[in-house]
Amino acid sequence: MDAHIKLMVKFFDDLLATLDDETECTNRMKQIGTSHAVLARTCGFSSDIWERLGEITMERVCAHEVIQKTRDAARAWRILLACIIDELRSGFDVEARYYR
């Protein structure tokens, strides 16, 4: 679990560092989703899990005091997280068809 958390932190760090390159960001998000597709067969991983991840992440990010104090920051994080989850799910869905 700790390794997965470190990978998620690195994913967000890398993503935020490359926000100016939309193509690179989108491809990176889809690739992460694609890499989880094998889990559709091996452990019942489904698209719904991405939605739950989005809800939990949104809840945790928006709970931070700094985010709560700045409405624009909360809005920006909601938009970014929605985009991330959409692309993760898209990459997963396309590849998961081959594992079902």
Whether 25 and 15 have beta carbons less than 8 Å apart is answered as yes
1 has a pLDDT exceeding 80: no
Confidence (pTM):
0.88
What is the structure's pLDDT at 34? 96
Containing structural domain, residue 10: 2-96
What is the structure's pLDDT at 100? 67
27 has a pLDDT exceeding 90: yes
Overall number of domains in the chain: 1
What is the structure's pLDDT at 99? 73
- pLDDT tens profile 31-89: 999 999 999 888 889 999 999 999 999 999 989 888 888 889 989 999 999 999 999 99
Distance (Å, rounded) from C-alpha 100 to C-alpha 93?
11
Distance (Å, rounded) from C-alpha 77 to C-alpha 100?
33
